[in-house]
């Protein structure tokens, strides 16, 4: 069986960026940031702190897969906020966000995170384009690129899964369809879909919907992100899927087959 880890590790290493040198924290202009931006940025920062639990979820559901077994985004956002005078108590914040997730099917966990990374990259790109302060715009642009790389890695594992076990394709398509059916007022991301969720335990659990309605208004803004997800679903299924609604008949046909 071909292992993906070495190839993916080399690919990610080539794109590695340095927190200490690639983000010009000393150039931050606090005067360009409203208090609301600082508040919302703090919520995003704490949400990124929950990356530990996404890792835990993967280690749990992929325990038997030797080929699958960061706090970097949190640290970057925290350092930015500290330049604005914000303070953090990691020993208090992390336990407050502590969640234990019920065990789930590994292929559905993988698909959920693939779509989630695509969506987070879409959000961070919008935040970058609308950031009132240049260093913050650079940070969100950098994080968005990371999320797309993460999604590309997950896509590689989904291809491997379907190649090894074609019968898992309906589960991938079902989870993709469920994740793509979303709204700004009820967004779907791994940090938001459980009850309780990481975001629901923050001091301001409504921050995501507020920011999405402000910086990504309208029902059709997810078109670019949906096309990226559908491109992979088309590849896996061998059929051209152009719209989210195309997934349902494909799911039915694969179940019959």
Q: Are 116 and 179 in contact (CB under 8 A)?
A: yes
pLDDT band at 136 (very low <50, low <70, confident <90, very high): very high
Q: Structural domains in the chain?
A: 16-256 (1.20.1260)
Q: Are 101 and 194 in contact (CB under 8 A)?
A: yes
pLDDT tens profile 31-74: 999 999 999 999 999 998 877 666 676 656 654 554 554 568 88
Measured distance CA(98)–CA(51) in Å, rounded: 11
Residue 231 has pLDDT above 60, yes or no: yes
Measured distance CA(151)–CA(115) in Å, rounded: 7
Measured distance CA(177)–CA(251) in Å, rounded: 9
Report which of residues 241 and 57 the model is more confident about: 241
Q: In whole angstroms, how far apart are CA 41 and each of 178, 188, 200?
A: 28, 19, 16
Q: What is the mean pLDDT of residues 7-26?
A: 84
The pLDDT of residue 2 is 62
pLDDT tens profile 21-33: 999 999 999 999 9
pLDDT band at 141 (very low <50, low <70, confident <90, very high): very high
The pLDDT of residue 235 is 98
Residue 226 has pLDDT above 60, yes or no: yes
Measured distance CA(123)–CA(34) in Å, rounded: 19
Torsion of CA 239, 244, 248, 251, to 10 degrees: 50
The pLDDT of residue 40 is 97
φ and ψ at residue 24, rounded to 5 degrees: -80, 75
Sequence-ordered list of residues with C-beta below 8 angstroms from that of 152, at least 6 positions apart, any chain = none
């Amino acid at each position: 069986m071909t292992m993906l880890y070495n190839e993916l590790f080399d690919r990610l290493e080539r794109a590695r960026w340095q927190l200490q040198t690639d983000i010009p924290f000393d150039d931050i202009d606090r005067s360009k940031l409203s208090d609301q931006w600082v508040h919302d940025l703090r919520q995003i920062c704490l949400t990124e702190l929950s990356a530990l639990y996404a890792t835990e979820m993967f280690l749990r559901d992929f325990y038997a897969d030797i080929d699958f077994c960061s706090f970097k985004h949190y640290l970057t956002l925290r350092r930015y906020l500290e330049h604005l005078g914000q303070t953090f108590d990691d020993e208090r914040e992390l336990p407050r966000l502590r969640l234990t997730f019920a065990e789930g099917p590994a292929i559905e966990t993988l698909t959920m995170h693939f779509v989630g990374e695509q969506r987070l990259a879409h959000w961070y790109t919008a935040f970058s384009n609308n950031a009132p302060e240049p260093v913050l715009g650079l940070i969100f642009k950098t994080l968005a690129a990371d999320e797309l790389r993460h999604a590309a890695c997950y896509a590689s594992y989904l291809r491997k899964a379907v190649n090894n076990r074609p019968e898992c394709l309906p589960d991938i398509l079902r989870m993709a369809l469920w994740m793509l059916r979303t709204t700004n007022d009820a967004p779907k991301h791994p940090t938001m879909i459980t009850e309780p969720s990481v975001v629901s335990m923050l001091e301001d659990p409504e921050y995501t919907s507020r920011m999405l309605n402000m910086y990504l208004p309208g029902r059709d803004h997810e078109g670019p992100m949906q096309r990226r997800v559908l491109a992979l679903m088309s590849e896996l299924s061998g059929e051209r899927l152009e719209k989210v609604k195309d997934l349902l008949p494909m799911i039915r046909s694969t179940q019959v087959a």
